[in-house]
Amino acid sequence: MSEKTYTINIKEQCPDSAPIEIKVNILSEGGQIWIQPQGYGEKCAADGEGFPIGIEIWQNRLRLLVFDDINREDPQIIDLEKAKETTRTRCNLCKKDIEADSIKWKGLLFCSESCLDACRAAQ
């Protein structure tokens, strides 16, 4: 696979903080994406060489790797499978987005009593 690098700048988003800007390199390599904010790194890389943020697929699961402490070798690994759009909690009848603590009946979730009644009537 070919390697591609992009460079962008990110800016402070809080209006109450001093405006700063950080140059960020983004590397696409071998089916992974690595992010290198200028001045940030990882324990096993020389200054200016580390990519402390990565995204990859591992065992069919999308995950984020974050080397959040330059004095630690192991990254924090965040499994993103619960962020899949297909895991959104929806009403079993009308498919509207709902809260997880909505109306439950026979293991199904409903957004309203009318949806629940319609489901009961169909059975």
With contact defined as beta carbons under 8 Å apart, do 40 and 50 qualify?
Answer: yes
Strands 21-29 and 32-37: antiparallel
Mean pLDDT across the stretch 3-10? 95
Rounded-to-integer distance, Cα 25 and Cα 19, Å: 20
What does the pLDDT look like over 57-111, one tens digit per residue? 999 999 999 999 999 999 999 999 999 988 888 887 888 888 767 888 888 888 8
Helix (H) or strand (E) holding 24: strand 21-29
DSSP at 75:
P
The pTM score is 0.75
Average pLDDT, the chain: 91
Rounded-to-integer distance, Cα 64 and Cα 62, Å: 7
Rounded-to-integer distance, Cα 54 and Cα 41, Å: 12
What does the pLDDT look like over 12-32, one tens digit per residue? 999 999 999 999 999 999 999
